[in-house]
Structure formats: C-alpha cells, structure tokens
A and B are shown apart, each in its own frame.
Chain A
C-alpha cells in the first residue's frame, strides 16, 4: 500500500501514524517549514528542522512540543524512517523523505532550485513517489537569476534616494524578508518592521549569519528612512504609517510580478519577479532528478502541471490540499497578514 494518503486533515502516513503539514490538529505533525499554511497551532508533537523550531515557537507558541532534525539526519517512527533534505524555500525549509520497507516517498513542501544565499540549497532526493507544489507551474514563469533581479532592486532604490523618495519593499516577514536583507545589505541601511525584526532575532540566535538591520521605532526620522531601504510585511502595505513617510514608493517582490496583469492588480509602484518557489524549468528539473514513478501535484496550477507531466510520460496526479487554492496567493498573504497585524497592534506607536 502507498506510504501516504491525502486526507481531510492533511498528508497522512498510515504505516508511521503521523501527518506532514496537517491543517487540522493531530498527534504528530512533521513540518516542512514555518509558513503559516504549512504549520498550524494545536498539534501535540511537532517534528521539524533545527532552524524551524525557534521560528514556529516564536510565531505560534513557546509551549509547542518540538523535536528537531538536521538535514541528512533521520529518526524512525513506527518502522518508518523519516529524514530531512534542504528544500531551498526559506531558512529551515525541508523536504521530508519517508522510507518503509524499501519504499521511498518525498514530500517536498515548498521549494526552489536557485541558491538564494540564505537557505540551504535544494537537494534532489531519489524516490518512488514525490509530492510537488506547482505554484508557478506554467511555462510563462521563468525566473531571471537573482543577481539580475537584485541589481534591478538596487537601481530602483538608488533612483528613489536621488529623487527624495522612500523605498518600501513589501515582503513576507519569514523568508522573503531575510532573503532581501542578505542580498541587499551593504550599500544603504535597511530598516525593518517589528514583525521582521522579531523573526530576525530568533534566526540570528540560532546561528544564521544575517546582516545587520535596524528595527523601525518612532525615534528614527523620515530623513533617515528616505536614505535607506524599508522592508515591511504585506499587512502594512496600506497602513497610515507608510503614508506619513516622505514620498513613499512601494516595491513588491513576488513571482507573480512576472506578469503585467498581476503587477497592475497589486498597483504597487514597482514589481520585482523574485520568488521562493521554483519556476517552470525548476519544477521540471527537480521532478526529473527524483526519478519518481509517481508525482502528486499540490497547490498552484495543479491541473495544467499534472497534465503536462502525464503527457511527458511521468505519472502524475492532482491533489487538493489547503496549501492555497489554485493560483490564489491571497490566502497565504492573508494568513501571514493576520499574524503581522497582531504585531502591528502591539506596536501602534510605529
């Protein structure tokens, strides 16, 4: 029988009696990474990567009961061998490899192929069955190298500073924010919103080398902010605070910014196609490298992507999950936003 089944609580391994990234409370939850659509409150036990532990404790609750593994390490649960491999998505993100009586299944969570300079680089794992996301599973989504994108962002910031505008980058507080910080640091000071600063603290504490940033407080003047880069989470986008800055201009960093329609929908001043998800060639490369006989396609362009895989001779099946509706990033944004909003209320003074 198959190693995993897709239930209404989430991806379930019957042989080992545990779930991977469940969306309803269970006894034992294996967690691929710290984004809120993959890890929820209420599980009795969590198993995650060492770097993910402080993140979920910070984001969900200090009282969580968490076990950890490093990449390459494994534990056995009811005879099922569980090990973690880098997924390259965000800090601490892991592909979960399950092995039972010679049968291997890999649940990749969210992943990307390109080295982002801050997450451990994606490592293909050979397996019989592979669970893949398909957030950008259409051939129009092909990323430029991140250096090219970061040069664009730096030029934009430079122009803004010269024109007396304040550069505000909108980024998830977990993942995208740290990637921006790592790759943009050096030229001008980077100012971050509380929710990002809080996460940075725990990330640095766990030994990750993250460049220095400045937490935004009421003491920092508008002039100082104008000469730097301001990074805030999506929930802050339309906040009153941004409107008080001197000539604020917003830039959104997301894979969706590849397409004009999305750029215009977001009505930001600038859009940079920078994603923590694999692009079309990346998805294809990753899947081929696993040599999997069966691919389960979750959130994203599931129908198109699985049809293409089947037509290419790779057996694929579309799976409904709660990791986001079809081509609907909004769910994820909103969940992250709720968290960030709480942070915002605590720090109303900013």
Chain B
C-alpha cells in the first residue's frame, strides 16, 4: 500500500504527462504483479464492489473523533472529498501495516455480507495502522473513484513502455472484458483474454476540432465529408453468433437497445462496425433530447420504444470476416462497409451518408444547414487514413457549427468540488422576463483560473443571502452562455432547458440591462420545433 500511496502522491504532484508516465513505469517496474492488476483496474474504472456504504464510514469517523456532524460537513465542504476529509480528521495512527494493495482489496471484498459491527471493527483497525495518505487511498478503495488525471491512454503508454509491447495492443487488452480477481498481470498485458473473448471492441478513433482554414487541408477530393451526428458513439461487435454493443465510455450497452438485436441474425460473424446510436424515425435523425429518454434506463417501456425509437448510423468497419481492417485506408474500408450495410437494406441501421462537394466553399455553405438535419456539423476524414487508436492529429477533424449563444446574468454562485472546492465556480444564470429575472442554466466551465478568482472575489463581496452552500449575488456580472440545443421543460421555471450550456466568455462590456429576454429564447425554441 505504501508503494501505491507514493504513486498516487507522485501522480498528483505533477501536471506533466511525461512525469506521470515515468511515475507509472517506476511503479510497474517494482510493484507486486497482483497489485498491478488492481492499479490498472482502478485507473480504468473497474471498481471493486462497495463492501460498505460511505455514509457508514462518515459516521464511524464522526464517532471516534467526536466531531459534531455539522462540523464534519463544513470540513467536507472545504476539502471537497469525503475519503480525504475522513483521513485528515482521524487522529494519528498508532500502528503501521505492510499489507499490499491487493491484500487490502481482498480483505475488503471478504467483508461482503458481514454485519456492520464486524465491518466497523475492521475499518477502525485499518485506520489505526495507516498514515494519512494511505488512509485516504484506503477510503477511496471503499467509496470512490480515483480521479487523479491518469487517462487510459497515459496508463496504456506507461504499460507499453514498461513491457515493451505495442500500445494499441495493450489498449485492446485492458479495454476488453476481464476480471481482476481472476486474471494475472502477464495474461492481461499479453491479451490472452481478448482472443478468447468474443466481445472485445477496438479503441475508438477520435477527431480533433478543426482549428485551421479548410483550404489548408489540401484538395477536397482527398477527403470524405460526413455529417457529424449528436448521439452516442458506439461499436457493434458480432462474433461467433453473439452480438455486443459498446459505447464510447467502454460500457456494454447491448441490453439498452433492443431495436438493434436483429443484427445478430443478419450480420456475418467476425464483424465490428463503428457508428452513432441516434433517435431515428423514417430514416430521419431526431433531436438529442429524444434520444435522452432512452439513456441509462434499466428497463424500457413500450411507450419509450414508440416515442423514442433508436437506430444506428454506421461510420466505419474495423473488422470483417474476422480480419482486422484498421490498417486499410478509409476508402477501402468504406467500400466494404457500403456493400455490407447496403445488402442489409434496413431502416434502422443506415450508412452515414457521405457529402459530395466540389469545393470547400460549397461544403462550408452546406455546413450551415446542419441543424436542419439535427446534425452538429461536419466530419472530415482523409480517404487515405487508417483507423487510429484514440485521438491523432491530422487525419480526422470535426468541424462543428457554432453553438447558440445567450447573454445572461449570474444570480447564484456555489463552490466547486475537488480542485475547485474553495472557489465559487458553479454559477446559475438568468435572463430577463419583464421586470423579473428567471433562471435558465447552470454552468461551471469555460473560465480561466484567473477569471474564477476574480468572480470569486466578486461573490465574496456581493453576496445577498446564503442558502447552505449557495449564495445569491447581486445580478451584475454578464456572461455569454453557449449551448447546443433548446427544449421544452416542465421542471424548469422558465419552461425551457438549454442543452450543454457552458460559459463562452465573460462580457465585462455588458450590464445586466443588456441581457437577453425569455421571449428571445422562446422564439428560438419555436424555430427549432
């Protein structure tokens, strides 16, 4: 555990990717193989099952430190993390422990099903032999996620470097289905499990936003342009008679989308296709808010199936006749795909259409009509490009249309969590409705650290009332809020809700009198219906 605690500390100490990779490589060089398995599992979000509720941890900590509950809450608000708050509140440990990470995880696992008294005794005993940093990690093992700025890619690069394997191969291995209790480090890294596992997907190829003039991309005939769809990016895998649907979040979502289950009968074995799960009716894409009704549900009602039918727009083919086609050119892959999907002649699984344009100007003009199709812009893919693992600059670009914007005034502020626990970073915005102000969005990103400090200082000086963590502030600061869509909403007082609102910029040049009105937004809503 000490080694792992040191790793976490090193990862937190640096902002530089290279330092983090070095720290990971150092760790993988000297850690116990059984520990490494768990580090990979934890960093890729494969959490062990919670043996204990975090509220119990909180009450046990309150109990042994004799801290009033309200003071615990104040401390938590300042620290921004429950595991850490507990670790800092506890008195210094009286013993030490040499247990390794996997041993702690196994012991915690064994607590499943035990009574609360047994659990409490184990936890208190553990707290009393761990240092503050180790305690923090121990609590995290029970209650939370490790969010320490290690991306899958960073982890994979470190593993590849340490084991001298190809990083795409390692990415494959850790993305597949594996059980940290069963697999050995060697098996995992060498990908033994992925060969026998029918389900494994490929890492998605991702695009960077286009920041340059399209003219600089060269001749348009070297590029394939497609509409950029706003849904859930997914991969459909059909192998040995089984069908799997993966989302980009590396989650298996097969059960959520029964409309696609027929593919198990019509797709040949050894096929992997990449595309977008969308709400589709009569081969037309519906708005994202329609699709939303279908997401993250355990059961789906008949009504939901009728109201929000889904389909799959296919972008690419990665595997065909059990062969990995990712190193073929896009032009070649598209040919295979057109044949495969065209033969299906289906109304829910459709080829994402290619936009044929003679010039960049023509394409730019077409791009402006994207919203009419419920698309968010254009994707540009080089015809000669391979299907890369992850994000790679140069071959794929997303060329989004500009977002909608509204000028609104800040009326509430709330402190952030984690890194921003002590600054007012979450703001609620309002527009004018006659004499009144009505809230339309909450947003928390898009400002620089310096601006956040400035707003923070404004909030401190201009608070009107305090409701728990929320302050009402004088309506003075005007921000330009960008958003992707607008929908009717009964939940919100304004009667409408903005999709993906974020702060575009702070309009220091504008006063609260200059902001938009609710009527402006209603007009926009009407125009998109």
Say if A and B assemble together.
Answer: yes
Query: Which A residues are within 8 Å of any B CB, using their own CB?
Result: 138-142, 258-265, 267, 269-271, 301, 304, 307-308, 311, 325-328, 330-331
Residues B421 and A261 in contact, CB atoms below 8 Å apart: yes
10 nearest A-B pairs in the assembled complex, by CB-CB distance:
A140-B88, A261-B421, A264-B419, A304-B74, A261-B80, A325-B460, A140-B75, A138-B75, A265-B419, A259-B79
Query: Which B residues are within 8 Å of any A CB, using their own CB?
Result: 12-15, 65, 67-68, 70-71, 74-75, 78-81, 84-85, 88-89, 417-423, 449, 453, 456-457, 460-461
Q: A140-B88, A259-B88, A263-B12 are in contact. Are A308 and B71 (CB under 8 A)?
A: yes
Residues A260 and B84 in contact, CB atoms below 8 Å apart: yes
A147 to chain B: closest CB distance in Å? 15
Residues A261 and B422 in contact, CB atoms below 8 Å apart: yes
Q: Which residue of A lies closest to B84 (CB)?
A: A260
The complex places the Cα of A134 from the Cα of B387 at a distance, in Å, of 58
B420 surroundings in chain A (CB, below 8 A): 261, 265
The complex places the Cα of A271 from the Cα of B88 at a distance, in Å, of 16
The complex places the Cα of A267 from the Cα of B149 at a distance, in Å, of 12
Given A260-B81, A269-B14, 17 more pairs with CB closer than 8 A? A140-B78, A258-B88, A259-B88, A261-B80, A261-B418, A261-B421, A265-B422, A265-B449, A269-B15, A301-B74, A307-B70, A308-B68, A311-B68, A325-B460, A325-B461, A327-B422, A328-B456
B360 to chain A: closest CB distance in Å? 39
A270 surroundings in chain B (CB, below 8 A): 13
A305 to chain B: closest CB distance in Å? 9
B14 surroundings in chain A (CB, below 8 A): 269
A267 surroundings in chain B (CB, below 8 A): 15
Within 8 Å by CB of B13, from A269, A301, A325, lies: A269
The complex places the Cα of A130 from the Cα of B12 at a distance, in Å, of 40
For A138, A141, A326, the residue with the greatest tally of chain B CB atoms inside 10 Å of its CB is A138
Residues A259 and B78 in contact, CB atoms below 8 Å apart: yes
The complex places the Cα of A327 from the Cα of B420 at a distance, in Å, of 13
The complex places the Cα of A209 from the Cα of B78 at a distance, in Å, of 38
B449 surroundings in chain A (CB, below 8 A): 265
Q: A139-B89, A269-B14, A270-B13 are in contact. Are A262 and B422 (CB under 8 A)?
A: yes
A264 surroundings in chain B (CB, below 8 A): 12, 418-419
What would be 13 A-B contacts, judged by CB atoms less than 8 Å apart? Answer: A140-B78, A140-B79, A142-B88, A260-B84, A261-B418, A261-B421, A264-B419, A265-B449, A308-B68, A325-B461, A327-B422, A328-B422, A328-B457
Q: A260-B12, A267-B15 are in contact. Are A326 and B74 (CB under 8 A)?
A: no
A133 to chain B: closest CB distance in Å? 16
B463 to chain A: closest CB distance in Å? 10
The complex places the Cα of A260 from the Cα of B71 at a distance, in Å, of 19
Residues A138 and B78 in contact, CB atoms below 8 Å apart: yes
B422 to chain A: closest CB distance in Å? 6
Q: Which residue of B lies closest to A258 (CB)?
A: B88
Q: Which residue of A lies closest to B452 (CB)?
A: A265
A330 surroundings in chain B (CB, below 8 A): 453, 456-457
A251 to chain B: closest CB distance in Å? 10
A170 to chain B: closest CB distance in Å? 15
The complex places the Cα of A330 from the Cα of B455 at a distance, in Å, of 12
Q: Which residue of A lies closest to B415 (CB)?
A: A327
The complex places the Cα of A330 from the Cα of B420 at a distance, in Å, of 14
B133 to chain A: closest CB distance in Å? 10
A205 to chain B: closest CB distance in Å? 37
The complex places the Cα of A330 from the Cα of B79 at a distance, in Å, of 17
Q: Which residue of B lies closest to A327 (CB)?
A: B422
Residues A301 and B12 in contact, CB atoms below 8 Å apart: no
B150 to chain A: closest CB distance in Å? 14
For B14, B15, B84, B88, the residue with the greatest tally of chain A CB atoms inside 10 Å of its CB is B88
A79 to chain B: closest CB distance in Å? 38
Within 8 Å by CB of A139, from B75, B457, B460, lies: B75
Residues A327 and B456 in contact, CB atoms below 8 Å apart: no
A311 surroundings in chain B (CB, below 8 A): 68
Residues B419 and A261 in contact, CB atoms below 8 Å apart: yes
A265 surroundings in chain B (CB, below 8 A): 419-420, 422-423, 449
Residues A139 and B456 in contact, CB atoms below 8 Å apart: no
The complex places the Cα of A10 from the Cα of B457 at a distance, in Å, of 21
A140 surroundings in chain B (CB, below 8 A): 75, 78-79, 85, 88-89
For B78, B79, B419, the residue with the greatest tally of chain A CB atoms inside 10 Å of its CB is B78
B75 surroundings in chain A (CB, below 8 A): 138-140
B417 surroundings in chain A (CB, below 8 A): 261
Residues A301 and B78 in contact, CB atoms below 8 Å apart: yes
Within 8 Å by CB of A304, from B15, B71, B84, B460, lies: B71
Residues A259 and B13 in contact, CB atoms below 8 Å apart: no
A271 surroundings in chain B (CB, below 8 A): 13
B457 to chain A: closest CB distance in Å? 7
For A259, A307, A325, A331, the residue with the greatest tally of chain B CB atoms inside 10 Å of its CB is A259
